Structure formats: C-alpha cells, structure tokens
Structure 1
C-alpha cells in the first residue's frame, strides 16, 4: 500500500476552502453552471491538475479534465469524477471533495506507470441550480446530452444555448466529444455520504452498493379565487387546501410504502393575499426508491390518489414530469475492488451501503461500470454550510482511492 501523510489530506481540505471562495453569494457558497464562478473555479482546478502532472482541457459543455497518460496513450481510460457546482448556500465538500481526492491521488501516484489512462473530471453541472436540469456535465460525457436543454431558460430568461455562447462554448458542439464505452474501463466517484449511517457505524468510509432512482413532477392545481369573507366553505374551490391534503397524502404514502417523497416547492401563484382564497397553486414532488419497479409503481399510485383529491375538492390538477433517473446498481466487480481497497487501508472489513441521493454516476452508468466510495460527514448534513468532514477521514479516503487504482491495475488483463 502506498502511504500518505496527514499533510496530503490537509492540502485537500485547504483546497476545498479555496474553491469555496468562487461563489456568486458573498459569505455563502453558491456556484451555478456556466457562470463566471464556474469558470474561475475550473481555472483553479486546472492549475492544481497541472501541478499534479496531468494534461488538462475543457470539454464541449464546460467540464474540466486532467489526464495521467498511460505508458501506452492508446490504452483505455479509468475516469475519476464528481461535480464542482453547488446548490444555493452550499457546503464545501459535496462534489468538490471527490474531485480534489482524484487530483491528489494522481499527484501521489505521479511516478507510477499504469497500463491505462486515468482521467479526473470536474463535472460542471450535477445540481441543476441554474436551469433546473441535473447531470448536464456527466450526461454529455456519457452520450446522453439532450438538445432540448438548449431552450431551457434560467431565472433571468437566458437560455442554456445563450449561456454556453456567453461562456465561450459552441452549442453546436455540445456532447459531440462524448466518450466511447469501448475505450472506458470504469467510472469511480468518491463523495461525502450525505447521510448519518457511517457516523453511526463509526466508520471513515463505506462502499456504495447502488443509487436510488428518482422521478420529479411539477403539479399545478387550479381552483377559483374568491373573497375570504364572502364565499362559504362548502362552496369554495380552494387550491391551497387541496394541495395541503395532497402533501399530507404524499407523506403518508411514502411512510407506508418504504419510499421517500418530498414536496420541495409550493407557490401560491398570481399574487396570493391574506384575504383571498387561493385560486392557483403549484408544487413539486421528488420521489425516490432503490428499486426501480417500486419507484414506477409508487409514482403511478400516488398520482392517482392526487387526482382523486382534486376531483372531490372540485379543482383541476395538471402534472408534468420534469426529471427521471433510473435506479443504478454499482458494478459488483467494482464493489469488490473498493472493498479490497478499504480492507487494505483500514485493516478491517468493508462496510457496504446504498445511496439515497443522486450522483453523476447515474449518468455515467450509460457509459461504463460505476463504483463509488462514501466518506463520513458530520451528522449526515449536506447541502448546507454546516457540511463537515474530518481530515483523518479524508486521509483514509485518499489512501483508498490510490489503492483502488492499484487494485484495478492488478485485476486488469496485461
């Protein structure tokens, strides 16, 4: 096993602090796709990649790459990646930690010749902050870029196509440089857990078995606005009361059917007022399950229940599916190799756990086998400024990443 020291892990922590400065919000971390903060963060990552001895480039959708070239440059490639974009008022480690671990691992392995190329990629959009469309960066790499995304507008009315042009990219080239599955050996991602399981188990890292599938819907409920004092309750078509019952039903259904379902946004439209019966309300649902068949069934049954509520409350319900990602099983071969790596580094049996959150691996599984490692985070808090990891855990994750590459080498046909 190649040993690292605490100073290498501390270097990653320091770099995470630096990346957090590239934000559109003073005093908070918010970094969206195709923004000046995106460009500045990737320019900094390119510098660190070059310092690690990597060849760097930006691809057609704004992902930042660094490559450790194999002894045979025509050999296939192992890709290590995660995302550099954030949610609003984010933590410093979600996504960014995985990128920095990849760069540092290749820096420590700079004198080791591998029989395959190794790429580190900072995906430019996983969170969907600016255009409400997730996994743009990794989808493009995996050959899944959707040209319909060009017409999506941000909150200021700027289309994605225009934003690409303003950033210095050519929309006509987007996704054309996708990777060839025949030339890709595997995709590896290290990510904070975003949950409390590893902390409860008192473990620094855990091997991911799979990623929950997700579907998201935007629903519009239309009733009749009216005067709060003059319309009797039995004669009302109150859109917000209907939505309140729908939200309660969603929570109950999720508890009874072992899924997770979240209403993340709820807006009373057309200028709701204290003395007006709400006539139009929109809300979103995010439904997830580790089992794809259960996810499909839950969505169907739950939407039927919402339709029934709308019918007896005399309101109209419109529903639009705005996102779908199928549940993904991490490759068993990569789970085994990650497990070997964890055992070598920690001298203890590896712990295996699923991911309820989505990751770039959801898109990359269309390209190649995917394997993930989770790193313990304090209280499982993520998407929050309180997001925290321990330097000693980062050191364990770094050694596991390096050992994983050696495991792949020793198990690859020579």
Structure 2
C-alpha cells in the first residue's frame, strides 16, 4: 500500500469540512444543505471506487461493492457524516472515507457477499436533539414520533425531510432485516487518550459503555450571607459540592466514569446562601448490570448527604442507553487484522462514547476499530489524526475484509 491512499483520505476529510453552515468552523447538521453537499461528494467517491450508490429513506448515503454470487448476508461498514457545532474533521467522517478507500483497493477482489458502505446522516442529534437517526432507521428502531420533533427554528423533522426531497411517510420503511446482514463494522477515532498513552495507532473495541443521565435538584434554605451562622445553614451549594466529590470518589472506587457536567443556581446572588442548586450527572460503564446496581447505591449515598445537611434531593433519570458488547468473533478478527498490519499484539479497549454501532446492534453483530487521535481531543476544531495512523487503519480494514472473505469461503 502506498502513502497516496492515506493522503487522499486526509484531503477528502479537508474537502468534507468545507460543507459547513458556520464559516470558519465546521457544523453540518441533519437534512441541511451541507448534508446534501457532503453526501454528493461521498457518492462521487463511492462511484470512483466501483460502488453502486443510492440514498435511503432518511437521507443516509450508501455505496455497494456488488458480489456476482452472494452466498452470504451483506457486510455493512459505516459511520456518520454529521457533526456537532464547531466540530473536528474526523469524528465519523474518517470511518466513511476509510471504508471507501479500502473497497477502492479491493476493487478487483470478488467477495461471496455484498459489502455496503454507509454514511449515516445523523448520529450526533445536533439539529433535533434526537441521536442516531440514520442508523436507527437502518436497524429498524426508528421512532415515528421523531418526525414531529422540531428544531430551534420550529421546523419539524417531517417538514425538513420534505424540503430535503424525502418522503417522511416512507421514513425507515427500507430498514434492513437481520437475516440480510452478517455484521456491522465501524472504524472511528478514539475520542480519548488511551491509544496515545499506549503509543498505538489503532485498538480493537471490546464494547460501548452503557450510560445513565440524571437531573438533580438540591433544596435548602436561602438566607443572608452575613447573618446566618455556618452551623445553622442549609446551604444547597455546599451540599451539591459534597455530592460531587462523593460521585468522583464512588466512580474511582468502582471503576466507573462519572461527570457532573452542568450546575445551575436559579437565583444565585453574591450575598445570599444558595437555597436551590440543580445539577446533572452522566455515569457510564461497559458492564450494564454493574451500572444499574451501582447507580442505586450512589443515589442512596447522595440521599444520605442531603439528609445529614438538612437538604432535600430530587432526582430524575432523563436518559439511558444500554451497553453494547462487540461480538467476540469480530474482536478476534480485528485483532488478527491489527497483528497482520502492525506486527504487534492488538490492544483491546472499551468505548466510553456512543456510536452508530449502538443502534446497529439491534440489527446485527457489531465490531469496531479505534484510531489514535491527538491528545484524545474530539468534538473540537483541534481534533487531529496523523497520516501514518490513517495508513495503518486503512490497512487493518483491508485485512479485516480479507479475513471475513476467508471465513466465508470456508
């Protein structure tokens, strides 16, 4: 393999970054003009790689390496083309471009199954606050009531589909059947610092962590900052601070990751004891049973802190996603591909972030490969990968496809 292939991928990532609604930054949302432009470019590159192309009912872009004699179900390789606000160039997009280039290199190889590349049109949920729209439609878990969700301009998803040229009445009617698909593969930047710390270009993903998100409200008693003695206060902010440190300690003790990401004092003032504080908790683990059990234990701890301080605590679970293990057989094949490509034993690691594989796991087995990103930075314009790592990832994906062909050929 020549360096030219990885350089082309980097150049194409730069080109896709030009399709943005915010000049000087990268923001590309679902059913926008920039979505259409990016998918047109991807379609052209798919055609150049010898693929048959089409757009599906929710605006995902597909390319197929057609098998002359398909004796096995279709293999799907994909990731997402949408972005967060003020994004980096490689989150999602790199995986699509790697898939196209891998099939370009294998254009003369005959497979006993179709190989589909997909650019999912929405994973981030930036426009409609509903994540995984594209992959959910493919996997058969699209929710019809999503069509009524409105963006910040009051435009519903159904209206946006019509304006884009799609028929909302047909949304997700072309979902795949499990019997038609053998597996879903995704190559994605790590979005974390583990590979860099281990000095590895790539790593095999063992699974995607489950997540729970809570909204808390701590209520005490507001009072004058100068006249109420400390020992007589019911300070909601001090209670929230103690809860935050308890969350951190609990997570460390139990090998979880937990984040208090938002904190709000609805009526805070410099000379008033805080009477109400609202805060959020995001907590994750690859072990779903452990996550469920430990969340109950943690909530009990927070209730104890509130009681000791004379505070009331209300909690609401407002988001939940179950963990998704990657198929053991696909992990082992990815490991073999990495070893063939790098001459090193593979590194296995879990994903703390969500990916399209979360939705696709409802349809088929999933397997993922991570690519090192600079300092683990993602969802940020400073998001970066180097061309040598892209070269390794491309070779790993090509090796993975050949291993799957070998397995299918028996």
CA 1:278–1:132: 2 relative to 1, 3 Å = farther
- Distance in 2, matches of 1:412 and 1:74, equals 9
Q: What's the CA shift string for 1:148-174, capped at 9, x where partnerless?
A: 434444444444344434433333332
CA 1:36–1:59: 2 relative to 1, 3 Å = same
Residue 412 of structure 1 aligns to a residue whose secondary structure is: helix
RMSD over aligned Cα atoms: 2.6
Question: Which 10-residue stretch deviates more, 384-393 or 193-202?
Answer: 193-202
- Distance in 1, matches of 2:18 and 2:231, equals 55
Residue 129 of structure 1 aligns to a residue whose secondary structure is: coil
- Distance in 2, matches of 1:250 and 1:184, equals 41
Q: State the partner residue of 1:37.
A: 34
Q: Is the 8 A contact 2:112 2:409 kept in 1?
A: no
Within the candidate set 141, 146, 157, 1:144 is matched to 141
Aligned length: 410
Q: State the partner residue of 1:304.
A: 300
Q: Is the 8 A contact 2:17 2:26 kept in 1?
A: yes
Question: Which 10-residue stretch deviates more, 155-164 or 362-371?
Answer: 155-164
- Distance in 1, matches of 2:218 and 2:31, equals 33
Residue 18 of structure 1 aligns to a residue whose secondary structure is: helix
TM-score where L is the length of structure 2: 0.90
- Distance in 2, matches of 1:6 and 1:332, equals 32
Within the candidate set 314, 320, 325, 1:324 is matched to 320
Deviation at 1:132, TM superposition (A): 3.2
Q: State the partner residue of 1:248.
A: 245
Residue 408 of structure 2 aligns to a residue whose secondary structure is: coil
Q: Is the aligned partner of 1:56 residue 2:25? A: no
- Distance in 2, matches of 1:383 and 1:345, equals 29
CA 1:219–1:63: 2 relative to 1, 3 Å = farther
Q: State the partner residue of 2:161.
A: 164
Within the candidate set 331, 334, 337, 1:335 is matched to 331
Q: State the partner residue of 1:103.
A: 100
Within the candidate set 286, 290, 295, 1:290 is matched to 286
Q: State the partner residue of 2:201.
A: 204
Q: What's the CA shift string for 1:225-261, capped at 9, x where partnerless?
A: 6666677767766544443333222222212221001
Question: Which 10-residue stretch deviates more, 32-41 or 117-126?
Answer: 32-41
CA 1:245–1:25: 2 relative to 1, 3 Å = farther
Q: Is the 8 A contact 1:226 1:277 kept in 2?
A: yes
- Distance in 2, matches of 1:349 and 1:82, equals 26
Structure 1 spans left out of the alignment, 5+ residues? none
- Distance in 1, matches of 2:388 and 2:290, equals 38
Within the candidate set 398, 402, 405, 1:406 is matched to 402
Q: State the partner residue of 2:79.
A: 82
Q: Is the aligned partner of 1:387 residue 2:386? A: no
CA 1:195–1:105: 2 relative to 1, 3 Å = same
Residue 31 of structure 2 aligns to a residue whose secondary structure is: coil
Q: State the partner residue of 2:215.
A: 218
Q: State the partner residue of 2:356.
A: 360
TM-score where L is the length of structure 1: 0.89
Q: State the partner residue of 1:115.
A: 112
Residue 89 of structure 2 aligns to a residue whose secondary structure is: coil
Within the candidate set 260, 265, 268, 2:262 is matched to 265
Question: Which 10-residue stretch deviates more, 219-228 or 156-165?
Answer: 219-228
Q: Is the 8 A contact 2:72 2:408 kept in 1?
A: no
Residue 255 of structure 1 aligns to a residue whose secondary structure is: helix
Deviation at 1:406, TM superposition (A): 1.0
Q: Is the aligned partner of 1:185 residue 2:182? A: yes
CA 1:153–1:227: 2 relative to 1, 3 Å = farther
Question: Which 10-residue stretch deviates more, 394-403 or 49-58?
Answer: 49-58
Deviation at 1:86, TM superposition (A): 1.9
Deviation at 1:26, TM superposition (A): 2.4
- Distance in 2, matches of 1:65 and 1:213, equals 28
Q: Is the 8 A contact 2:26 2:87 kept in 1?
A: yes
Q: Is the 8 A contact 2:71 2:112 kept in 1?
A: no
Residue 173 of structure 2 aligns to a residue whose secondary structure is: coil
Q: Is the aligned partner of 1:128 residue 2:136? A: no
Structure 2 spans left out of the alignment, 5+ residues? none
Deviation at 1:70, TM superposition (A): 1.1
Q: Is the aligned partner of 1:195 residue 2:210? A: no
